[in-house]
Amino acid sequence: MKNTSNIPAAGWNFDNSYARLPEKFYTKTDPEPARTPELVIFNKELAESLGLDAELLNSDSGAGIFSGTEIPEGAEPIAQAYAGHQFGNFTMLGDGRAVLLGEQLAPDGQRFDIQLKGSGKTAYSRGGDGRAALGPMLREYIISEAMHGLGVPTSRSLAVAVTEIPVVRESFLPGAVLTRVASSHLRFGTFQYAAQWGTFEELKALADYAIERHYPSVKSLENPYLELLKNVISRQAQLVAKWQLTGFIHGVMNTDNMTISGETIDYGPCAFLDTYEPGRVFSSIDHYGRYSYSNQPKITGWNLARFAETLVPLIDKDQEVAVDLAQEALGDFGNQFQQNWMAGMTAKLGLFGNEEGDDALIDDLLKLMHDNKADYTNTFRALTFDKVEDTAFSGKEDFEEWYNAWKSRLDGQPESAEASHILMRNSNPALIPRNHRVESAIEAAVSQQDYSLMEKLVEAVKNPYAHTVEQLEFTDTPTEDEARSFKTYCGT
């Protein structure tokens, strides 16, 4: 057991409910200590919202905790067990390079997992070193905080600490640990693990725990496990719609990377669209486009079906009845996604409600964007401020037809032009974490220990709907060569 950190005034308030589940679901695991840990990025605002003493933790003491060298008082470190379909193939997994310190109870009563990612070997490392390189941990910090700013449900990043322990990948890389904060790490794959290798009683214990933690209102209903499925379907329909609306590509939508809470998690080979290309893939390992931008809703539905399979024994004793009920619930996913996406797209165009012809208006704009290789985010930003000269298709006849149809639709609604403009400002971000900007920030930090670019980028993406003059600097698009050659990697 590691040394317990002797700083109770830091505000740690752990109540580790997951560790009270049957031991099948985890292995007690201490993180491996760093050599000379140093805290390089710290999220003061997030720390304070968790009830932590940000000033005290933004120090050598904090570096010890956030590197896994010291254990905060009240923590019960464990590695969680789970399985998953990875690119369609089912396998046993688990936290191979992560340790859950415990669950922090925030001042508002909310419960958050505090997890160290990259803190060394666990029982589930499968021959890996359990470590993480600095670059991918900085990428997760940037992207997760940007997603939070965009209003997309997400895990968040509390800190990044360097360990002074080299990580061997294609070369020697500086090692680091990311401290991740999530409403839980309950995954579709957690249920797949329970269904495959657990008893009925263990599966039920997990489902009851999930309901208590995330959906307590369904406990008293006639079929709480069916309602659990319906709630997860609803959350995922909302989540993937937000991904599509912001141009986000997760990159590795394996079932172990999908949470029942409906939060985005496990930022590996993720990126944002520049040019609107529905089939775009950034991940270096996604050779067939399984997790492309346009496939994300379909894959979410597929993943939900795998989750539903695990609940069949709980939904009804009669398997045939249970399957019918689950399939009926799953059948509504597409409709729910479409409703969420449509509501978001009409808002991006300043439209209140949904009228006949809106589908065609949206489809025609996306076709214009695709045909003209238009930038996704900047096109909607240009429309928000009615600067059509900044679009890739300004002056083209088919755009003029679309533009006149859009203006006619706006003029025909009872809401004022100002109300539409405000709706668009609040729905279309000024900026996203551009891939080339993210790479430049990471390169400066890793190669030169210069974190100024990263700090500036994180500050810019924290409030993307502010539309300030300062944010304009981050709206530039990559060069054609940068866009063509850009690839992302999972970091393992």
Q: Any idea which residues carry the catalytic annotation?
A: 256
Separation CA 61–CA 73 (nearest Å): 13
Separation CA 141–CA 441 (nearest Å): 12
**Helix, strand, or coil here: 131?**
strand
Strand partners, 90: 85
Which helix (H) or strand (E) segment holds residue 417: the answer is: helix 417-425
What DSSP letter does each residue of 300-362 carry, written as one string?
HHHHHHHHHHHHHHHH-SSHHHHHHHHHHHHTTHHHHHHHHHHHHHHHHTT--S--TTHHHHH
- Sign of the CA dihedral running 117, 118, 120, 124: positive
Separation CA 116–CA 37 (nearest Å): 14
**Helix, strand, or coil here: 248?**
strand
- Sign of the CA dihedral running 416, 418, 421, 426: negative
Separation CA 177–CA 181 (nearest Å): 13
Q: How far apart are the two ends of the chain, measured CA to CA in Å? A: 26
Strand partners, 74: none
Separation CA 293–CA 300 (nearest Å): 12
Encoded tokens for 215: 């959906």
Enumerate the H helices of 183-294 as residue ranges.
188-197, 200-214, 224-246
407 alpha carbon, distance to own chain's centre: 35
